[in-house]
Structure 1
């Protein structure tokens, strides 16, 4: 990746962050305005509940971005799986109507594998527009981290451009806030000598990664 590509990717990831935070932060602002004007005790309580929900959603999204795109996780090379698991569970709770099942055969993962798992999980949540089940697995085999995420539900939605980004076949003008995360994962897989795979049907999306360690 040259300097121009790196700047473009960073810009699109920032655009993605701003897009995802705009709704809950906007709801916070609107809620504060309503609270300042409202005098009915019952309505004020309702405003406070909405403010609490918006603040929680904003915090959960920031925690996700910190791990999924940033340099979080401490100074070591590995991150305990409890941290990304808590983030994904919180996002699924915010999404509602999504049940998350875990099959983790490791206590910690390399930071690149954590980024892959988090972004795969977010793609799965985005695909479950009508709710469903999100199954997430991780294990270490033959010196490599293997990540699998399966989203199952009615009318699974997955943009083909995201799939092309995961495959590394995205056109030069195809990088956007929608595809930036998938493009980043493709770079992570390339740098580690690993690979990414995906399969989509009407009611399921399966995302897989094999990332050699070391």
Structure 2
């Protein structure tokens, strides 16, 4: 990837981060304005509750983006599986119609594998517009880390341009903040000698990755 492409990708990822944070941060700002004007004790208590909720959502999103998109400073080359698991569970905390089934055989994952797992989970959650089940698995097999995320539910929503970004067939002109994350993990996988794939049916979306262990992707 040349310098221009690197700059474009970074800009798109920043746009995605800003877009996802705009709502909870905006709610914080609005809540503070209401708090300054409100004198009723009950109303102030309600506003405080909303502020706490918005602050928690903002914090969870920042933690997610730190591992999903960023360098994740503070972590070693391997990340305890509890970290991405907690971040994914936080993403559906306000989505009671989505349940998760875990099949994580490895105690740790390398940072690139964590990025793939988190971004797969985000794509799958976005696909479950009417709720459903999220199956998330990762294991070592034949010297490689295999990751599978499956979303099962009615009316699966999936933008085919995201699929093209995942399998590497996306035209550069179609790179947007919506497809940037999928494009990023495709680069991570292909540069290590691995690959990504997906399959969408009427009631299911399956995302898969194979990442060679020799590239330091898992521990």
Normalised to the residue count of structure 2, the TM-score between the two structures is 0.95
Question: What residue is the counterpart of 2:176 in the other structure?
Answer: 176
Residues in 1 aligned to 2:172 and 2:71: alpha-carbon distance in whole angstroms: 26
> For residues 74-85 of structure 1, what are the structure 2 equivalents within 5 Å?
74=74, 76-85=76-85
Q: How many positions carry a matched residue from both structures?
A: 214
CA distance in 2, matches of 1:10, 1:81: 26
Between the aligned partners of 2:82 and 2:43, the Cα distance in structure 1 is 38
Question: 1:167 Cα shift?
Answer: 0.9
- Displacement of 1:94: 3.0
Residues in 2 aligned to 1:34 and 1:203: alpha-carbon distance in whole angstroms: 43
Q: Which is bigger in relative contact order (C-alpha 8 A, separation at least 6)? A: 2
Q: Measure, in 2, the Cα distance between the counterparts of 1:99 and 1:154.
A: 14
Which digits, 9 at most, give the CA deviation of each residue in 1:73-95, with x for residues without a partner? 64532111011101101111134
The SS at the match of 2:46 is helix
Residue 184 of structure 1 and its aligned partner are, at CA, apart by 0.4
Residue in 2 that maps onto 1:44: 44
* 1:196 equivalent in structure 2: 196
Q: Helix, strand or coil for the counterpart of 1:93?
A: coil
Preserved contact between residue 80 and residue 108 of structure 1 (Cα < 8 Å): yes
Q: Within 5 Å, which residues of 2 pair with 1:148-167?
A: 148-167=148-167
Aligned residue runs from structure 1 range 1-214, under 5 A: 1-72=1-72, 74=74, 76-214=76-214
RMSD after superposition: 1.1
Report deviation, 1:100. Answer: 1.2
Where does structure 1 lack aligned partners over 5 or more consecutive residues?
none
Give distance in 1, aligned partners of 2:25 and 2:71. 23
Q: Tell me which moved more, 40-49 or 7-16.
A: 40-49
When normalised by structure 1's length, the TM-score is: 0.97
The change in CA–CA distance for 1:89 and 1:73 in structure 2 (over 3 A counts) is farther
Please list the CA deviations of residues 23-49 of structure 1 after superposition, one character each: whole Å capped at 9, or x if unmatched. Answer: 000001011111111122221111111
How many Å apart are 1:142 and its aligned residue?
1.5
Secondary structure, counterpart of 1:39 in structure 2: coil
Post-superposition CA distance 1:133-161 (Å, at most 9, x none): 11100001122111000111111101010
Q: Is the 8 A contact 1:16 1:177 kept in 2?
A: yes
**Is the Cα–Cα contact under 8 Å of residues 73 and 111 in structure 1 kept in the other structure?**
no
Q: Which moved more, 1:39-48 or 1:8-17?
A: 39-48
Q: Aligned equivalents of 2:124 and 2:73: distance in 1?
A: 23
Q: Match for residue 217 of structure 2?
A: none
How many angstroms apart in 2 are the aligned matches of 1:59 and 1:21? 10
Q: Distance in 1 between matches of 2:194 and 2:204?
A: 24
Q: Secondary structure at the match of 1:99?
A: strand
